[in-house]
Amino acid sequence: MATLHKLNKEATIVFCQLLERLEKLKDDDHHCLRLESGGYLPLTFEQLYGGIQTPWGEGTLYSLMHWYVKEGDVMRDPDMVFVVVDNRQASNDSTDLLGIYTQSYQADNMGMYQESLFIDNSALTKFSPALNMQHCEFANMWLMNILAQGFLQ
């Protein structure tokens, strides 16, 4: 049986920094964080919605994207959606109980949209093992680049 991959520990730690920053800003109407770092495309991190049923618990969808405007349209370069299943207790910050799974990858400049996890009626129903591994490897690298490029300083 194929294995569903999640972000590695280092990438999970970076993702947690994004979650913490979003939580500090979040109110009833605001679930979006915009970050900038000189010389790079802006980065947006947004909570989409929760209540996703998975084998590991209830998940929440988050979008992370670099973007630019071309002829009045927002171009995602790229945009990834993640399913986050957080089974940590309030007093336990262990990343071992936090599962972050890549759900989709989109790059408008290449006309590309791929789903590695399929969600139907708010439930994870199946996944593509090859795309899941490919998306996860990219996300691990991308999150380390986001850290190195100074978006979280």
Q: What is the pLDDT of residue 87?
A: 87
Q: What is the pLDDT of residue 3?
A: 86
* Contact between residue 75 and residue 67 where contact means Cβ atoms under 8 Å apart: yes
86: in domain: yes
- Give the pLDDT mean for 102-113: 96
Q: What is the pLDDT of residue 26?
A: 67
CA angle (67 as vertex; 151, 149 as ends), nearest 5: 20
Half-sphere exposure of 85 (CA within 13 A, CB side): 17
Total domains, the chain: 1
3-state SS class at 22: helix
Nearest to 13 by CA among 153, 104, 140, 151: 140
% of residues, the chain, pLDDT over 70:
93
1: in domain: no
153: in domain: no
Q: What does the pLDDT look like over 72-107, one tens digit per residue?
A: 999 999 999 999 999 887 656 677 889 999 999 999
Looking at residue 56, what DSSP letter applies? T
- Give the pLDDT mean for 5-34: 88
Amino acid at the residue 109:
N
- Give the pLDDT mean for 102-116: 96
Q: What is the pLDDT of residue 2?
A: 77
Q: What is the pLDDT of residue 29?
A: 61
Give the Cα separation of 60 and 94 in Å (integer): 18
72: containing domain: 9-148
45: in domain: yes
152 has a pLDDT exceeding 60: yes
130: in domain: yes
Element at 142 (helix H, strand E): helix 129-148
28 has a pLDDT exceeding 80: no
2: in domain: no
92: in domain: yes
6 has a pLDDT exceeding 60: yes
- Give the pLDDT mean for 36-52: 95
121: in domain: yes
Nearest to 62 by CA among 73, 76, 74, 50: 50
Non-local (6+) Cβ contacts of 28 within 8 A are: none
Instruction: Name the average pLDDT for the chain.
Output: 92
In 21-129 the beta strands, taken as DSSP E runs, fall at 32-35, 43-54, 57-70, 73-86, 98-107, 112-115, 117-120, 123-127
